Structure 1
Amino acid sequence: MEFADHLSKSDIQQFNQLRRGKQNKPESKPKRKEELSFKDVEELMGMDRDTYKKVRGRVRGK
């Protein structure tokens, strides 16, 4: 049995009105543009990370 089988027609109409009301309202979130500096972009890209190299079975920092 479905959910709608247990409800009266007026209850189904009320439910559908509530459902439509939520779908028509778009959530308006303020879009904020974040200004990143050149240094911040480099950090996000991982430019300042340590580099490692495997030498004779050991991992050494470059």
Structure 2
Amino acid sequence: MKFADHLSKAQIQQFNQVRRFAENQREKPKPVQHEHLSRRDIEELMGIRRDTYKRVGGAVRRR
């Protein structure tokens, strides 16, 4: 059975008024502000600017 089958017509009208009021009061989504990244920031995020390590005679050295 549907929810509306258990209500009178007056109760259904009241419910619809409350629902419409709630929909109008809902906040509209704000426009998304995109972050402008520099080329260096993007490279750091991708991992290009990480230190490179190499094993030299058993020791690990940074290149």
Q: What's the TM-score bracket when you normalise by the shorter of the two chains?
A: 0.3 to 0.5
| Structure 2 length-normalised TM | 0.47
Structure number with bigger Rg: 2
| Structure 1 length-normalised TM | 0.47
